Amino acid sequence: MSSALRHPLPGDAPRASSDVRLSVEQVSYAYAPNPSQAPLFTLEAMSFQAKPGELVAILGPNASGKSTLLKLISGALQPLSGRIFLNGFETHSLAVKTRAQRIALVQQESRLLFPSRAWEFVIQGRHPYGGGLRFESEEDIIIANNALAQVGASELADRWMDKISGGEKQRIILARALAQQPLLLLLDEPTLHLDIGAQVDLLESLRRLAAQNRYTVVVVTHELNLAGEYADQVVLMHRGKCLRVGPPATVLQREILEQVFQAPLSVEMTPSGRPRVTLFTNK
């Protein structure tokens, strides 16, 4: 499979691939539903960085601020303090179209008002690259086909979106994100509705794609073992605070996990150097 065609984008300074691509610097956030009320939810100042080809897992229990952090990274929200850089550009200050060319967000589900075919869905990913009234070019078609191939869904191209399974739909949604040819691929709890086999498939694909296409992939999840097995970096969140950032082995440790997830756990190291977390029940 050939890699997708890529035009060099403005702002891509020629750098070595080990350079930092995503830089979250002292970012905090507060949200008040009513101007007169005190802010309900806060994200305390936190920082981390990610390189091209890396898979970062944002890990934490519910209501720990993971989704908010992801929205801040995607540029949908503006941080209260601190800044988020993508290749040297602040994500929030980019124009919507430019942002869509660099950051792709994969939602959990897609509610379609009128049914469409899978390839129509995927080719929507090329929208950021067109003018006001455009028709898809040959190049767009090639890229969309590539994206489908990369997620292993080429045979689903002509199927209707409302007639395929959840796992297949997830792959199509991912293919649309790939068609955007982003630098940064964000996924918000992508494994929620998938069975274990599909979960593994997805994470394997993400790791492969990150390596192949030099994406930076950021996955929000609460699945401890998926994070441990596949992530290059883990950001552990708890009630709006970032407790620890680093490789899985340093972050997934028993004491801190028990404190965050409020469950008896035990952590062992696998031969490959990855931590494995199991429920520890005292009989």
| Binding track over 74-93 against another protein, x by CB under 8 A | x-x-----------------
Candidate residues 116, 259, 270, 278; the one interacting with another protein per rule CB under 8 A: 116
Q: How far is the CB of 268 from another protein (least distance, A)?
A: 39
Evaluate whether 199 touches 22 at the Cβ level (below 8 Å).
Answer: no
Which segments of the chain are extended strands (E)? 22-31, 41-50, 55-59, 81-86, 89-90, 103-106, 184-188, 216-221, 233-238, 241-246, 265-269, 275-279
Q: How far is the CB of 113 from another protein (least distance, A)?
A: 5
Q: How far apart are CA 13 and CA 189, in angstroms?
A: 32
Whose Cβ is closer to another protein: residue 112's or residue 263's?
Answer: 112
Distance of CA 83 to the CA centre of its chain: 19
Show contacts with another protein in window 167-186 (CB under 8 A).
180
Whose Cβ is closer to another protein: residue 10's or residue 271's?
Answer: 10
Candidate residues 19, 139, 195, 204; the one interacting with another protein per rule CB under 8 A: 139
Evaluate whether 187 touches 219 at the Cβ level (below 8 Å).
Answer: yes
Candidate residues 55, 84, 103, 156; the one interacting with another protein per rule CB under 8 A: 103
Binding residues for another protein, per CB under 8 A?
74, 76, 96-97, 99-101, 103-105, 107, 110-116, 119-121, 123-125, 127-128, 130-141, 144-145, 157-158, 180
